[in-house]
Structure 1
Amino acid sequence: MTDFDTGVLADHQIRALIDAGHVQAPAFETGQIQPASLDLRLGDVAYRVRASFLPGKTRSVADRLADFTMHEVPLTGGAVLEKGCVYVVPLRESLSLPAGMTAAASAKSSIGRLDLLTRIITDRGTEFDRVPAGYDGPLYVEICPRSFSVVAQPGQMLNQIIFRNGQTRMSDDDLRALHAASPIVDCDPVISDGLGFSVDLRPDSGTRVGYRAKPHTGVVDLSRLAHYDPRDYWEEVHTDSGWIILDPGAFYILVSRESIAIPPMQAAEMAPYIAMVGEFRVHYAGFFDPGFGWAAAGGTGSRGVLEVRCHEAPFVLEHGQTVGRLVYEHMSSHPQALYGQDIKSNYQGQGLKLSKHFRT
């Protein structure tokens, strides 16, 4: 196959991977390849399982499904995946990675904003959403609706995968140099093991700072865009004090105080939750494509939408409190298409925004 420079593979390099047989599927669709990632599609059946699982170093996902499956749910024509239940769905794509190349997966932005926990699992896997170098085998997605039951169909794209050739992560010194050359945030950057970001609880106008998922709602059909009235699914969160109290078990949509930019030769991933910052988790949609925020509003960046779930104890969240960090990575090549310029991008230039399934 073609040799790639070190970095996250760009769109044209992902096409080369497909052409060389390292990513297989019955057919690929137009728009499935993003600037630095590949969208993954659901297969035809979901397996309702007793519990979330990882197969472990010696077993396949099929082995574990034989142990834990309660019943099969055909997805053709649409099927309800119920809130609080766990499902495993074989994906249409499979991998045969070259030696030295790894892959990582994440929920797509709209899926994270629905509080829909989706994680990729592989044969002999010991981590969610991580594919080891040289992996040869099928891909599956675990789906656990947390706030809303959903209607899913074959072919829908809930997750995305990136391909890393070698060590791609930027050092803090590299990140400071990048910011000096092409600003990646609209304020003085907080750089420590990545770019820190904080929560905005003092909006420029009004008192609305977020949304909280209602506990009892109807289903969300994943195929219906700009369809649902937000008031049927969400409560607005208001404050004029610069702080809110997160309730245990509740799910919130908030927004970052900073506007973030991802230049064309970088990609970024939201780092995993760190317990030291408080009793909550900022989670789900992890990847930021090259071009995110880079040309929005004259280059001043786009806000990051935060998907927040509180843990065991009520927690006071203050304006400007650090809630996470972005880890920037080198691209292997300049993408042929950039997020927000050359492809349809629902969240370029965004502020506080629900998923694309809801009317504005």
Structure 2
Amino acid sequence: MTTGVLPDSHLKAMIARGEIAAETPVIPEQIQPASLDLRLGHVAYRIRASFLAGKTRRVDARLAEFEMHRMDLRDGAVLEKGCVYLVPLMERLALPAGVTAVANAKSSTGRLDLLTRVITDGGTEFDRIPEGYAGPLYAEICPRSFSVLVRPGMRLNQIRFRAGQAALSDAELIRLHAEEPLVSGEAVIDGGLGFSVDLLPETGDLVGYRAKPHTGVIDLDRIAHYPASDFWEEIRTRDGRIILDPGAFYILVSREAVTIPPDHAAEMAPYLAMVGEFRVHYAGFFDPGFGHGAAGGAGSRGVLEVRCHEAPFVLEHGQVVGRLVYERMAARPDRLYGAGIASNYQGQGLKLAKHFRAG
């Protein structure tokens, strides 16, 4: 098997072989250019604390230690802010030798500050699934800023499959950037492509949004429904800096417009913890074609999901806060991000989740 991230055609073959299976058959809309969306099952367990199964142990066997109560999701159920839930997913895996998987929150999930991670039987890490794993998948969900209404079949997580080593070294990334510019402006390459924050926009003084602390419930099926002003406070500045409040959640945007070539994929990763008392959340996977001309893009900004920790922190324009790790594809996908598929964030700038509208 060719090494790299497995594209949509390979995912279809894995489904046909039963390596990806589901109690309700996988639908075409789940298959993305370089990942598969995962669907919530029919029950959610409210648990006392987040946990990992641990080597040789099964998630369902450990659930009795932590379960507080369970909820049927078929008529919709509210996952409350500040609580932790475990939801069995519809999909299960039987990974062949040489193929590993990594899960991540979908873009809209991250922009709602929904901490959503995949755990497995025998798992000792979140979101990491080793070769040869055969068993169920579970989503751990902790709404951090907003309570949400969920139903079976909703897709909060996505999973990417890799054969062998896929990540580009810095030297390979430098060569790729020389062949086809990956970022507007100067490329900061150190353990990936550096992302900095834009706090001096070309027009106006709106630089981001801060989640309001006491809001209503968000029904995740409702698109462009909720007035943004009911859930978000605008952050404006004219001096290129803002002070992050401890515990607050922010949506900001990168200064750079980035491109993902069709034969590559990428993943947002944190920069270094030593740069300050804040965290840029994992912003999910970047698919082949994101911001790329072949898919109708001309570079797209990266949305930054930022939470400050113990102390107020001054964030300044141009400060590097994250990095994109580029990976080679095992083959070019049949479809690119933004080209003939429902891609909500192609060509994006500063943008809230798709559930909100202006007002």
TM-score tier (shorter): over 0.9
Supply the distance in 1 between the matched residues of 2:334 and 2:312 (Cα, whole angstroms). 46
Supply the distance in 2 between the matched residues of 1:332 and 1:172 (Cα, whole angstroms). 19
Q: 3-state DSSP class of the match of 2:29?
A: coil
* TM-score between both structures, scaled by the size of structure 2: 0.98
Supply the distance in 2 between the matched residues of 1:119 and 1:284 (Cα, whole angstroms). 11
Tell me the equivalent position of 1:59.
57
Whether the 8 Å CA contact 1:296–1:348 is kept in 2: the answer is no
1:199 corresponds to which letter in structure 2?
V
Q: 3-state DSSP class of the match of 2:226?
A: coil
Tell me the equivalent position of 2:12.
15
Question: Does residue 1:117 correspond to 2:115, yes or no?
Answer: yes
Whether the 8 Å CA contact 1:273–1:283 is kept in 2: the answer is no
Unaligned runs of 5+ in 2: none
1:169 corresponds to which letter in structure 2?
A
1:9 corresponds to which letter in structure 2?
L
Unaligned runs of 5+ in 1: none
Q: 3-state DSSP class of the match of 1:271?
A: strand
Supply the distance in 2 between the matched residues of 1:158 and 1:116 (Cα, whole angstroms). 9
Tell me the equivalent position of 1:176.
174
1:284 corresponds to which letter in structure 2?
Y
Supply the distance in 1 between the matched residues of 2:165 and 2:295 (Cα, whole angstroms). 32
Tell me the equivalent position of 2:165.
167
Supply the distance in 2 between the matched residues of 1:231 and 1:157 (Cα, whole angstroms). 25
Supply the distance in 2 between the matched residues of 1:189 and 1:63 (Cα, whole angstroms). 48
> What is the CA distance between 1:296 and its match in structure 2?
8.2
2:171 corresponds to which letter in structure 1?
D
Whether the 8 Å CA contact 2:182–2:259 is kept in 1: the answer is yes
> What is the CA distance between 1:188 and its match in structure 2?
1.5
Whether the 8 Å CA contact 2:45–2:69 is kept in 1: the answer is yes
Whether the 8 Å CA contact 2:295–2:336 is kept in 1: the answer is no
Supply the distance in 1 between the matched residues of 2:108 and 2:297 (Cα, whole angstroms). 24
> What is the CA distance between 1:284 and its match in structure 2?
3.4
Question: Does residue 1:233 correspond to 2:236, yes or no?
Answer: no
The sequence identity of aligned pairs, in percent, is: 70
Tell me the equivalent position of 1:266.
264
> What is the CA distance between 1:285 and its match in structure 2?
2.5
> What is the CA distance between 1:29 and its match in structure 2?
1.1
Supply the distance in 1 between the matched residues of 2:11 and 2:109 (Cα, whole angstroms). 23
1:218 corresponds to which letter in structure 2?
G
Question: Does residue 1:293 correspond to 2:291, yes or no?
Answer: yes
Tell me the equivalent position of 1:5.
2
> What is the CA distance between 1:133 and its match in structure 2?
1.0
Tell me the equivalent position of 1:279.
277
Supply the distance in 1 between the matched residues of 2:166 and 2:295 (Cα, whole angstroms). 29
Whether the 8 Å CA contact 1:263–1:292 is kept in 2: the answer is yes
Within a 5 Å distance, the mapping from 1:1-360 to structure 2 comes to 4-25=1-22, 26-272=24-270, 274-295=272-293, 300-360=298-358
Supply the distance in 1 between the matched residues of 2:275 and 2:257 (Cα, whole angstroms). 21
Supply the distance in 2 between the matched residues of 1:357 and 1:97 (Cα, whole angstroms). 34
Supply the distance in 1 between the matched residues of 2:353 and 2:75 (Cα, whole angstroms). 23
1:342 corresponds to which letter in structure 2?
G
Q: 3-state DSSP class of the match of 2:357?
A: coil
Supply the distance in 2 between the matched residues of 1:331 and 1:127 (Cα, whole angstroms). 24
Supply the distance in 2 between the matched residues of 1:291 and 1:276 (Cα, whole angstroms). 32
Supply the distance in 2 between the matched residues of 1:154 and 1:36 (Cα, whole angstroms). 23
> What is the CA distance between 1:300 and its match in structure 2?
3.6
Q: 3-state DSSP class of the match of 2:242?
A: strand
* Coordinate RMSD, CA, aligned: 1.2
* TM-score between both structures, scaled by the size of structure 1: 0.97
> What is the CA distance between 1:141 and its match in structure 2?
0.2
> What is the CA distance between 1:297 and its match in structure 2?
10
Whether the 8 Å CA contact 1:296–1:302 is kept in 2: the answer is no
Whether the 8 Å CA contact 2:208–2:252 is kept in 1: the answer is yes
> What is the CA distance between 1:299 and its match in structure 2?
5.3
Instruction: Tell me whether 269-278 or 322-331 shows the greater mean CA deviation.
Output: 269-278
